[in-house]
C-alpha cells in the first residue's frame, strides 16, 4: 500500500509578480511614467527576496545573536556576535536603498510608495531586519526635521546612504525599567561636560543594539543636580555607540533579552555610564521631538504586519490547492474557502489602510503646498490607526493560517510557529493597542484630526460611480453619522469615559476607513475590478462600527466585572 505523504506547499519565487493587489495598487496610485521607471526594480527585488535575502533571513533566525561579556582574561568586551545573514542584510538594505529611496525623493510624493513597496517585499524575508530599518528611517526623518547642519552631515548622510560601507542603522532607545508606555517616567540623566552631554542610566529594551547610533531620551540636570520630572523634563539625544577608536562610548551591555520572538534581532539592556551624546531639538521637548521618529516606525510596524499577513496567506492558498481531505482538495471545501476569503478581505482592508498612510506620508513630505496641508492631519490620525489595527489583525490572520495547516502548522519545523511568536511584538513595540488608541484621541483633541478624517472618507464615498458600490457607500455614510454623534456625545462626558471606549472607537474608525478605501479602489475604471468589487462589497456589508454606548455607571460596572 502506498503511504500518504503530504506535498510541501511552496511560495512563488517572485513575491512582486505574484502579488496582483500590489501591482494594481501601484499602477493606479503612481503616474504611468514613474511606475514604468520603478517596476523593473520591484520585479527584480520580488525575486531577490525569495533568493539570497530569504537565505540571509533563515540564517539570522537559525543563529540568534550571542552576548560575550568578557574575554578569556577577564576584560569586559561586551561583544554581540550576530549571524552572517544579519550582517549581510545591513549591506543589502543599503545597496537596495531601502531607507535611501524615501529621502532621495527622486519620484516626489511617490517616492514613499516606492520605498515602502520594496520594504513590503523585503520584511517577511528579513527575520525582522525590518526593525532596524524602521528605526533608521525614523531617525533620518527626525534629523532631517530637527538636526543641526553638522548632524545632517555627520549622521543623516550615513542613514540614507546606499554605500554599504558608509551606511548606518540607528537604534531607538525609549524604554526604561519604569515603562515602555509611560516614557515620561524615564530616569536617565544628562549632565553637561564642557561642550558635551554625558548620559547616565539604564535602557531596558534597546533593539538592534549593534547599530552604530541611537536616539534616546534623558533628563537634563541643572548645576545642583536637580531635574524637571515628567515628560516635560525629557530631552532628546543622539548617541554613537563607539568612539573613533572603536571602543564603546562608556556603556555596558547588561544582557541580551530572552524574547518570545524576533530572536534574530539583538535586543539588549544597557547601562549608560557617562556616554557622550549630542542634544537634538529643544531642551524639554524630547517626547514631542521623538514622536517624529516613532510616527515613522509605527508606519513600518503596519508594513510588517500587512506584509507578513500576505506572505502567510500565500502559503495557505498554495496549501489549500494541494492538500486533500475528505476526498477533495481543501479549496473545494466550502467552509475552508469561506474562511480563506474572509481572511483575504480583511487583508485587503489592511493593505489599503497601510498604503493610504504611506501615500499621505509621501504627500506630506513632497507634495505641493495644498496637498501637504491636507495630508498633515490625516497622516496624524491614520498613523496610529494603521499601526494598532494591522498589528492585531495580523495576529488573527497568522493564527488562522496556522490552523488551516492543521497539526503540521503547530510543528516548529513547519516554519509557521515563528510567525505567531514574531507577530506578537507588532502589537506591543512602538506603542501597545491601548496606547495607540489613546493616541488617536490625542490627535483628535490636540490636532483636530477628526473632521478632516470624516470629510476625506465622505468625499471618497460620495465620488463612487458604480451603483452597487454607491449603495455600500450610503450604508457607510450612515455609520459615519453614528461615529460623529458618538464622538461629540462622549467627548462631552469627560476624559475617563472617552478613554474607556478608545479602542472600540479606533477599531471602528479603522474599519470604516478600510471599507471606504476598498470601495474607492474597486470603483476605478482603469483596472479589472471584479475581485476588488466583490471584496469591497463584502467588507462594506460587515458590521464596521462597534461602539460602547455606556451609561455613567460604566466605570463602577467595570470594577464589579473585573474585581468583585
- Residues contributing to the site for ligand MFK (CB under 6 A): 130-131, 134-135, 172, 174-175, 180-181, 183-184, 207, 231, 287-288, 291, 294-295, 297, 300-301, 304, 429-431, 435, 439, 442, 446
Task: Select 2 or 446, whichever has its Cβ closest to ligand MFK.
Answer: 446
Minimum CB separation of residue 441 from ligand MFK in Å reads 10
Residue 378: CA count within 13 A, CB half-sphere: 23
Angle between helix 502-522 and 433-447 (nearest 10): 80
From the CB of 114, what's the least distance to ligand MFK, in Å?
19
Rounded-to-integer distance, Cα 419 and Cα 261, Å = 8
Handedness of CA 238, 244, 249, 252 (dihedral sign): positive
- Cell numbers 503540521 correspond to 408
Shortest gap between Cβ of 430 and ligand MFK (angstroms)? 5
**By C-beta, is 476 or 509 nearer to ligand MFK?**
509
Q: How far is the CB of 271 from ligand MFK (least distance, A)?
A: 17
**CB-nearer residue toward ligand MFK: 85 or 132:** 132
Nearest distance from residue 388's CB to ligand MFK, in Å?
Answer: 11
* Residue number, 478 or 494, with CB nearest to ligand MFK: 494
Cβ of residue 435: shortest distance to ligand MFK, in angstroms?
5
Nearer to ligand MFK, 295 or 314 (CB): 295
Residue 54 per-residue DSSP state: H
CA distance 234 to 305: 31
Calculate the alpha carbon distances from 267 to 88, 121, 211, 255, 529 in Å: 18, 24, 11, 9, 44
Shortest distance (Å) from residue 390 CB to ligand MFK: 11
Q: Which three cell numbers stand for residue 154?
A: 555627520
Contact 203, 172 (CB under 8 A): no
DSSP secondary structure string, 349-371? HHHHHHHHHHHHHHHHHHS-HHH
Nearest CB to ligand MFK, comparing residues 105 and 442: 442
- 131 vs 512, beta carbon nearer ligand MFK: 131
Q: Where are the alpha helices (DSSP H) in 368-494?
A: 369-404, 417-424, 433-447, 450-462, 467-493
Query: What's the CA gap between 232 and 168, in Å, rounded?
Result: 30
Q: How many CB atoms within 10 Å of residue 459?
A: 11
**Cβ at position 15, least distance to ligand MFK in Å:** 17
Question: Closest residue to ligand MFK, Cβ-based?
Answer: 231
**Backbone torsion region of residue 548, taken as left when φ is above 0, otherwise alpha when ψ lies between -120 and 50, otherwise beta:** beta
Nearest residue (CB) to ligand MFK, 14 versus 390: 390
**Residue number, 304 or 508, with CB nearest to ligand MFK:** 304
Least distance CB 427 / ligand MFK (angstroms): 12
Measured in degrees and rounded to the nearest 5, phi and psi for residue 174 equal -105, -25
Q: Closer CB to ligand MFK, residue 172 or residue 357?
A: 172
- Choice between 181 and 470, CB closer to ligand MFK: 181
Least separation in angstroms between CB 283 and ligand MFK: 13
The pairing of strands 267-280 and 234-240 is: antiparallel
Sequence-separated (6 or more) residues with CB below 8 Å from residue 175: 183, 203, 204, 205, 206
DSSP assignments along 401-414, one per residue: HHHHTGGGGGSGGG
> How do strand 267-280 and strand 251-256 relate by DSSP bridges?
antiparallel
Residues 104/160, Cβ–Cβ less than 8 Å: yes
Query: Burial of 101 by CB count in 10 Å (0-12 exposed, 13-18 middle, 19+ buried)?
Result: buried
CA 513/CA 494 separation, integer angstroms: 26
CA distance 386 to 416: 24
Least Å distance, CB 488 to ligand MFK, is 22
Q: Are 202 and 254 in contact (CB under 8 A)?
A: yes
Between CA 398 and CA 417 the distance in angstroms is 9
Residue placing its CB nearer to ligand MFK in the complex, 491 or 550: 491
Give min distance, CB of 384 to ligand MFK, in A: 6
Cβ of residue 525: shortest distance to ligand MFK, in angstroms? 36
Query: Would you say 207 or 490 has its CB closer to ligand MFK?
Result: 207
Amino acid at each position: 500500500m502506498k503511504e500518504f505523504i503530504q506535498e510541501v506547499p511552496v511560495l512563488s519565487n517572485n513575491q512582486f509578480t505574484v502579488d496582483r493587489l500590489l501591482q494594481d495598487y501601484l499602477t493606479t496610485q503612481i503616474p504611468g511614467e514613474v511606475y514604468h521607471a520603478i517596476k523593473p526594480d520591484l520585479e527584480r527585488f520580488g525575486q531577490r527576496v525569495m533568493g539570497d535575502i530569504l537565505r540571509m533571513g533563515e540564517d539570522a533566525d537559525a543563529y540568534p545573536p550571542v552576548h560575550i561579556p568578557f574575554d578569556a582574561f577577564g576584560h569586559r568586551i561586551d561583544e554581540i556576535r550576530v549571524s552572517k545573514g544579519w550582517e549581510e542584510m545591513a549591506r543589502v538594505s543599503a545597496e537596495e536603498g531601502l531607507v535611501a529611496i524615501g529621502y532621495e525623493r527622486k519620484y516626489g510624493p511617490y517616492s514613499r510608495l516606492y520605498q515602502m513597496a520594496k520594504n513590503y517585499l523585503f520584511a517577511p524575508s528579513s527575520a525582522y531586519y525590518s526593525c532596524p530599518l524602521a528605526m533608521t528611517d525614523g531617525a533620518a526623518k527626525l534629523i532631517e526635521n530637527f538636526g543641526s547642519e553638522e548632524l545632517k552631515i555627520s549622521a543623516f548622510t550615513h542613514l540614507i546612504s546606499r554605500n554599504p560601507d558608509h551606511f548606518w542603522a540607528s537604534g531607538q532607545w525609549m524604554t526604561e525599567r519604569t515603562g515602555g508606555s509611560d516614557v515620561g517616567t524615564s530616569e536617565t540623566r544628562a549632565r553637561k561636560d564642557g561642550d558635551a552631554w554625558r548620559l547616565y542610566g539604564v535602557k531596558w529594551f534597546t533593539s538592534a543594539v549593534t547599530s552604530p547610533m541611537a536616539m534616546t531620551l534623558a533628563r537634563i540636570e541643572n548645576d545642583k543636580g536637580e531635574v524637571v520630572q515628567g515628560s516635560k523634563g525629557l530631552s532628546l539625544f543622539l548617541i554613537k555607540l563607539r568612539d573613533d577608536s572603536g571602543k564603546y562610548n562608556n556603556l555596558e551591555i547588561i544582557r541580551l533579552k530572552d524574547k518570545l520572538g524576533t530572536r534574530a534581532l539583538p535586543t539588549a539592556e544597557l547601562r549608560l555610564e557617562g556616554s557622550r551624546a549630542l542634544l537634538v531639538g529643544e531642551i524639554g521637548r524630547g517626547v514631542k521631538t521623538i514622536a517624529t521618529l516613532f510616527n515613522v516606525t509605527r508606519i513600518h510596524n503596519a508594513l510588517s504586519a500587512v506584509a507578513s499577513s500576505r506572505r502567510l496567506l500565500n502559503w495557505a492558498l498554495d496549501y489549500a490547492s494541494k492538500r486533500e481531505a475528505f476526498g477533495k482538495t481543501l479549496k473545494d471545501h466550502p467552509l475552508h474557502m469561506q474562511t480563506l476569503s474572509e481572511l483575504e478581505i480583511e487583508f485587503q482592508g489592511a493593505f489599503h489602510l497601510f498604503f493610504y498612510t504611506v501615500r499621505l506620508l509621501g504627500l506630506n513630505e513632497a507634495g505641493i503646498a495644498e496637498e501637504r496641508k491636507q495630508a498633515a492631519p490625516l497622516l496624524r490620525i491614520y498613523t496610529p490607526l494603521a499601526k494598532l489595527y494591522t498589528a492585531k489583525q495580523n495576529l488573527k490572520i497568522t493564527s488562522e493560517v496556522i490552523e488551516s495547516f492543521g497539526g503540521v502548522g503547530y510543528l516548529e519545523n513547519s516554519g509557521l510557529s515563528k510567525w505567531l511568536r514574531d507577530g506578537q511584538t507588532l502589537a506591543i513595540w512602538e506603542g501597545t493597542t491601548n496606547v495607540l488608541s489613546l493616541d488617536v484621541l490625542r490627535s483628535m483633541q490636540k490636532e483636530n484630526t477628526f473632521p478632516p478624517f470624516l470629510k476625506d472618507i465622505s468625499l471618497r464615498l460620495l465620488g463612487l460611480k458604480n451603483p452597487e458600490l454607491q449603495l455600500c457607500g450610503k450604508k457607510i455614510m450612515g455609520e459615519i453619522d453614528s461615529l460623529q454623534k458618538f464622538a461629540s456625545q462622549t467627548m462631552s462626558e469627560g476624559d475617563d469615559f472617552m478613554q474607556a471606549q478608545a479602542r472600540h472607537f479606533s477599531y471602528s474608525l479603522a474599519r470604516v476607513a478600510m471599507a471606504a478605501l476598498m470601495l474607492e479602489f474597486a470603483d476605478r475604471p482603469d483596472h479589472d475590478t471584479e475581485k476588488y468589487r466583490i471584496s469591497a462589497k463584502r467588507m462594506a456589508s460587515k458590521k464596521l462600527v462597534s461602539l460602547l454606548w455606556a451609561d455613567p455607571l460604566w466605570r463602577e460596572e467595570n470594577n464589579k466585572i473585573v474585581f468583585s
